[in-house]
Amino acid sequence: MDKMLVTGGKKLKGEVSTGGAKNAALPILFSTLLADGEHIFHNVPDLMDIKSTRDLLESFGCETEFSKNTLKILVRPLKTYEAHYDLVRKMRASILCLGPLLARHQQARVSMPGGCAIGSRPINYHLDAIGQLGCESEVTSGYVVAKTQGLKGARIIFDMPSVGATENLMMAAVLANGTTIIENAAKEPEIVDLADYLNKMGAKVSGAGRSIISIEGVKSLKPAEHTIIPDRIEAGTLLIAGAITGGSVKVNKCRPDHIEALISKMRESGFDIEVGEDCVSVSECKEWKAVDVTTAPHPAFPTDLQAQFMALMTQSKGSSIITETIFENRFMHVQELIRLNAEISPKTRVCIVRGEQGQLMGAPVMATDLRASACLVLAGLVAKGETCVNRIYHLDRGYEKLEDKLTKLGASIKRI
């Protein structure tokens, strides 16, 4: 089982580049099921979750070829409409094949994704929304079995702006008969990237990125070519890596407009952040103050940066109140930070972080989920002595060669 060994105390300096966004690539790769032929994608990150998606698409009968962050997907008439448990359990986002399979083949049998460390991860919004387009679905022996006589456009209002449910519904609606209006839609940049690709294939999606999306169904779609947007969560993680070590780091090939909530919180805390066209940099800072953060749907502070920001607040001056409103159990990193001598008092959805520079002491810790593992690596960069992060496979699901990028910036980190 891979571990990451981090020796704290080095100030990070220099430039680093962001890769393609995992959470934009996953729905876009599933959208290829909507059109036979060869789809080509650039800036695709080389991650476990991309491999899992390729495995699932190949199990349907597609062919995939991946080299140097370019992924080709050849979609042919499928040999099955079933997403098997063994593949789905490796990656919850596999549920995103439901919409495209129903839109194109009027049937789907998709294993329930199951929960994960951060929450139960239900899919009721997905099933209710697609049901309103005219499909019956039931859950039998752990599988969602869905079929339709043909999807029809409808007006759907989400109770909450679920990212995955918005994406599944968009992909179901593009070939439906008539127009679909989605209200209270998720507004994440990944929704916009999916809409851009659907429109490149010939779909008629408008309003993505705002809370009302309208989709006019078309008869068929064609394969296209697309470059995945930069990963805003990786960009934010790298920026925090520079900040937490009191270093000066420039993150290139990113979209600063996608991490405005993080930038404004870091500025409020006392960091000097420069923003360019496709780059953002943080300069050396001796001391920064604690700020409060509440996670919420985009454009508010992203839940996927909550753990990383908490690591930064352990070094701040004062107490920071961190509130997690998206997932019910996304404080798994707190006990591990406390093992590193952080002073944090966790409640159910709120943590109070009493910051004090220099208080973290290296120790063995356990990664529990993707962003928690990033948080523990960041904490290791400033903890005195060695921090060994176990179960680092969580990190590989969402970060491509993070240790190489941090080493290039001067960190003392190695995978063992």
When CB distances to ligand EPZ are compared, the closest residue is: 164
CA distances (Å), origin 121, targets 112, 114, 125, 351? 10, 7, 11, 22
Q: Confirm if 194 and 201 have CB atoms less than 8 A apart.
A: no
Length of the chain: 416
Q: Which of 44, 50, 93, 182 binds ligand EPZ (CB under 6 A)?
A: 93
Smallest distance from the beta carbon of 23 to ligand EPZ, in angstroms? Answer: 3
**304 is a contact residue toward ligand EPZ (CB under 6 A):** yes
**119 is a contact residue toward ligand EPZ (CB under 6 A):** yes
Q: Any alpha helices (H) in 97-204, and if so which ranges? A: 98-105, 124-131, 163-173, 189-200
**398 is a contact residue toward ligand EPZ (CB under 6 A):** yes
CB-based contacts of 27, cutoff 8 Å, min separation 6: 93, 96, 164, 167, 171, 190, 194
Backbone angles phi, psi at 240, to 5 degrees: -65, -35
Nearest to ligand EPZ of 32, 162 (CB atom) = 162
Amino acid identity for residue 196 in this structure: D
Residues within window 196-255 making contact with ligand EPZ, judged by CB under 6 A: none
**124 is a contact residue toward ligand EPZ (CB under 6 A):** yes
Amino acid identity for residue 324 in this structure: E
| Cβ-based burial of 358 (10 A; exposed 0-12, middle 13-18, buried ≥19) | exposed
Place of tokens 């890769």: 19
Q: Which of 26, 133, 198, 367 binds ligand EPZ (CB under 6 A)?
A: 26
Single out the catalytic residue among 62, 116, 351, 375. 116
Q: What is the rounded distance in angstroms from the CA atom of residue 244 to the CA atom of residue 58?
A: 42
**400 is a contact residue toward ligand EPZ (CB under 6 A):** no
Q: Which of 258, 265, 339, 371 binds ligand EPZ (CB under 6 A)?
A: 371
- Residue span binding ligand EPZ (CB under 6 A) among the ranges 58-66, 117-125, 214-222, 237-245: 117-125
Q: What is the rounded distance in angstroms from the CA atom of residue 286 to the CA atom of residue 350?
A: 27
Among residues 211, 208, 113, which one has the least CA distance to residue 161? 211
| Cβ-based burial of 76 (10 A; exposed 0-12, middle 13-18, buried ≥19) | exposed
How far the first Cα of the chain sits from its last, in Å, is 9
Active site residue 116: yes
Binding string to ligand EPZ for residues 136 to 165, with x set by CB under 6 A, is what?
Answer: ------------------------x-xxxx
**122 is a contact residue toward ligand EPZ (CB under 6 A):** yes
Nearest to ligand EPZ of 186, 375 (CB atom) = 186
**316 is a contact residue toward ligand EPZ (CB under 6 A):** no
**182 is a contact residue toward ligand EPZ (CB under 6 A):** no
Nearest to ligand EPZ of 121, 408 (CB atom) = 121
Nearest to ligand EPZ of 137, 162 (CB atom) = 162
Number of residues that bind ligand EPZ (CB under 6 A): 23
Q: Which of 94, 214, 303, 316 binds ligand EPZ (CB under 6 A)?
A: 303
**326 is a contact residue toward ligand EPZ (CB under 6 A):** yes
- Residue span binding ligand EPZ (CB under 6 A) among the ranges 28-36, 59-67, 118-126, 315-323: 118-126
Q: What is the rounded distance in angstroms from the CA atom of residue 114 to the CA atom of residue 410?
A: 39
Q: Annotated catalytic sites, by residue?
A: 116
| Interface ranges with ligand EPZ (CB under 6 A) | 23, 26, 93, 119, 121-126, 160, 162-165, 186, 303-304, 326-327, 370-371, 398
